[in-house]
Amino acid sequence: MKIQPGAKKPELSELSRIRDRITFLYLEHAKLNRQDSAIVVADNQGTVFVPAAIISVLMLGPGIDVTHRAMELMGDSGMSVVWVGERGVRQYAHGRALNHSASLIEAQAKLVSNKQSRVAVARQMYQMRFQGEDVSQLSMQELRGKEGARVRRVYKEESQRTGVPWSRREYNPDDFDSGTPINKALTAAHQALYGLSYSVIVALGASAALGFVHTGHDLSFVYDFADLYKAEYSIPIAFSMVKKYGDDKDIGSRTRLAMRDAFVDGKLMIRMVADLKMLLGDSNKAEAETLNLWDDRMGLQKFGVQYAEHEDNHS
């Protein structure tokens, strides 16, 4: 039998809980390998050994070379891997979610499949945007109207703050350069926020498609989730960038970099993790891998039992 080099695969009980890990680690222009239970990160400044079990989500930016053995360790350690643009801006692909339990996505599916619970979560998301106001009795139509008025007010206030003219939100997704400077900046800022929201959602094992306000798209929940932070992040940053750079041909790139810095400085990713768990009713159970067999009468049954033999012994 061939002996597998390196450390043995850890038991899930040995791994750090999600809340005890470093939330996100971003790497770029480096070579990644494995030594025992550590990821070896080497670049032109030197070599660093990163214990795999303390990382929640590893963001792989431009210029990363990663070996098969390093990816094996990441998977064994319950680490979510996301391939992104520079400094986490734009999300391109992701590996297995950090949370191997299906409890979060099952809770999400249950909440979105019932009209009352779906409305309750939608109201909760709107309530997060209307601090100090009670929206618990408003219909979805009333909430949409109230949210529309809030967003228009935010645009107007940011225009007054920065002196950047504002009329309305308009853009052509197939022709970015045809937009006005502020609309190009807003598009770039919102896209960066969508990418970060997607990364958090998939890292925790929730579904990007099962939205409560938006629906019918494979990123519906991403749009729901990102809307919680636009008034605080993407909208003011976009207006500030246009105030500073005007009709710069690189306004989109400059805005993405500003969003990147805001994500790092404002600890937004940590806040997103807490908000997502709160919205989906996370029970703070141990993040351990569980696998059961479903039974319509007897409930969950233990996996790994030879039930044919079990029945024979009792016949």
Q: Which residues are annotated as a binding site for Mn(2+)?
A: 147, 214, 227
Tell me the residue ranges of DSSP E strands in 138-293. Answer: 292-293
What are the contacts of 246-250 at 24+ separation with CB within 8 A? 246/181, 247/181, 248/181
What gap in Å lies between CA 42 and CA 39, rounded to an integer? 10
292 has which bridge partners? Answer: 302
Binding site: what residues are annotated?
Answer: 147, 214, 227
Q: What does the alpha-carbon distance between residue 225 and residue 278 come to, in Å, rounded to a whole number?
A: 12
Cβ burial of 78 (10 Å; 0-12, 13-18, 19+) is buried
Contact 238, 186 (CB under 8 A): yes
Instruction: Say if CB 41 and CB 30 are below 8 A apart.
Output: yes
The DSSP 8-state label assigned to residue 179 in this structure reads S
Biggest CA–CA distance in the chain, Å, is 83
CB 113 within 8 A of CB 220: no
Strands (E), 4-156: 22-27, 30-35, 38-43, 46-51, 55-60, 64-66, 80-84, 91-94
